[in-house]
Amino acid sequence: MKKYMLMAAVILCAVTLKAQKPENILAAVGTPPNPKVPISWNRYHDYAAITEICKKLAAAHPNLIKLETIGKSYQGKDLWIMSISDHKVGNADQKPAMYIDGNIHSNEIQGSEFALYTAWYLVEMYAANNQTVQSLLADKTFYIVPTINPDARDSFIHKANTAHSPRTGLIPIDNDRDGVDNEDGFDDLDGDGHITMMRRKNPNGRYKVDPSDSRRMIVVGYDEKGEYEILGSEGIDNDGDGLVNEDGEGAYDPNRDWGWNWQPNYIQGGAYKYPFSIPENRAVVDFVMKHPNIAAAQSYHNNGGMILRGPGAAEDVDTYNAQDVRVYDALGKKGEELLPGYRYLVVYKDLYSVFGGELDWFYGGRGIYTFSNELWTGYAMYNKAGADNTQDQLYTFDKDLLMKDAFVDWKPYKHPQYGDIEIGGFKKTYTRLHPGFLLESDAHRNMAFSVFHAYNTPKLSIDEIEVKEIGSGLKQVTAVVSNLRMIPTHSSQDIKNNIEIPDIVSLTGGTVVAGMVVNNRDLGITTEQKLDPTNIRVENIPGNSYVTVRWLVKGGTKFTVNVNSKKGGLASKSN
């Protein structure tokens, strides 16, 4: 019997392998048909798995991915970054670039999956000869850091937590100032890996079991007798101070540590010692400062289905001036089309004040157009608005589509302090995190938004080189340099604060006598650059617009115009 079972298993395996061959597959549109690195996108990966995926992708696509580390986490983990571009075409660090990171908050783990999915999709579609992606990676570079909080990510995945904790990193802090760091975190009383809720029977309690769903506790009416009291999240008072779960791992917020409008902890709760005092953030800053070609950025958070731009606080509202807001609005409105249920919002105006946020430092400090997408929206549960993540919908969705897998059933427990109680409630992987079957779909849509953002970083072209004899052995060489995309080579914030050096338009092929920017070609109005006239400094090449420059030259007949822009890349043309 065992012999026949083994033969059947071998035959089944052979059939399965044959079914995975390219000739046995009908490719679904918009998806890599036969990826070199197959990955299941319906689950979450810890740091070891993220490292493995990054290394496999880099090994499978050496001409597209350069894998390196930008630094170490507090616990010594490498902070991996994938530089994704067509490395056979130009220097990746001189192409307009999109920076993407995820998981700055430890419980917001799907940001890493979305960042990884973006990397995987780009290289696998390139390998599948998708011309759109091939053209994109010839022009642009993506710098993708899947997780910038790997220590706390692993803590969330491998330790018992609620869906909402922890948000922090793992640098030890004495949260309740009793002289002991992190001594009273969650206790997983039943050892199931999830911190759920504790309830206790009490005729004077304010809760009863929902008659329509025995899993759910509802508040009794003012004239009703209660059945239960809610004791809070699963745990024990370990330090004897009368409080349960009040002093967990860390207390600082990595997204309050950035050096733009930073405020100390007594003003901005969650701030650490000083700006960039958290090593993971410092590593990101060092990388960004060394890569002035970064023109766009995305930081993935959860949840609520939001496309967020700054400012984080009302005090900073004048930083985001009208010219840049027009660019943000155009990108954000497109994002709402690509991401059903997501809303384009401004942090301080539509949510709350944030001081020292990553979003504001990228834009305010570096002039980079940056969004933070808050991933996952209850709209996706039934593809309708109005009941996003309400308690009713959480229970019905779990019953209708998840087969009640999101809920830990109530069960009795003998608590050392509360006596006879019951433990139960939603798992840590529900309410804030995507259910598996919706993870890839939303990852793809968010990837598409980041690609749209990256596509609209500057693309420079020299449209015209006009050479005219003007007498006395001089030639007038006029060049028109255009920007074919929405995003300018310098944001208004960049120009206002002189963050990045001007774009340089230079001429070779003759002896330059004078150089100038042409303000009005029809009327002959120019602004001469008297120092170094060969290399004309241009303050900005606006999005979907152009600049005109001119030289007076002695000698030569063959001229080459070169453009060098930190955020706009390189362009060259000869007459």
Q: Which helix (H) or strand (E) holds 517?
A: strand 511-520
- CA 427 vs CA 206, 365, 389, 404: distances in Å: 24, 39, 15, 11
- Of the chain, the end-to-end C-alpha distance in Å amounts to 81
Has 358 been annotated as catalytic?
A: no
CA distance 229 to 162: 20
User: What b/e readout covers 198-210, taking b as 16+ CB neighbours within 10 angstroms?
Assistant: bbeeeeebbbbee
The residue type at 562: N
Q: Give the other-Cβ count within 10 Å of 215's Cβ.
A: 17
Give the number of C-alpha atoms closer than 13 A to the C-alpha of residue 64, restricted to the C-beta side.
Answer: 24
Phi-psi region for residue 346, left (φ > 0), alpha (ψ -120 to 50) or beta?
beta
**Residue bearing tokens 């997408």:** 373
SS (H, E, C) 265-334: CCCCCCCCCCCCCCHHHHHHHHHHHCCCCEEEEEEEEECCCEEEECCCCHHHHHHCCHHHHHHHHHHHHH
With contact defined as beta carbons under 8 Å apart, do 374 and 324 qualify? no
The residue type at 227: E
Phi-psi region for residue 253, left (φ > 0), alpha (ψ -120 to 50) or beta?
beta
- CA 91 vs CA 26, 64, 94, 144, 391: distances in Å: 36, 12, 5, 17, 52
Of 124, 229, 374, 500, catalytic: 374
Cis peptide before 311 (omega within 30 of 0): yes
Q: Give the other-Cβ count within 10 Å of 67's Cβ.
A: 18
Q: How many residues does the chain have?
A: 575
Q: Which helix (H) or strand (E) holds 117?
A: helix 110-127
- CA 181 vs CA 165, 246, 268, 418, 479: distances in Å: 17, 12, 21, 25, 64
Q: Tokens for 102?
A: 């995820």
Catalytic residues: 374
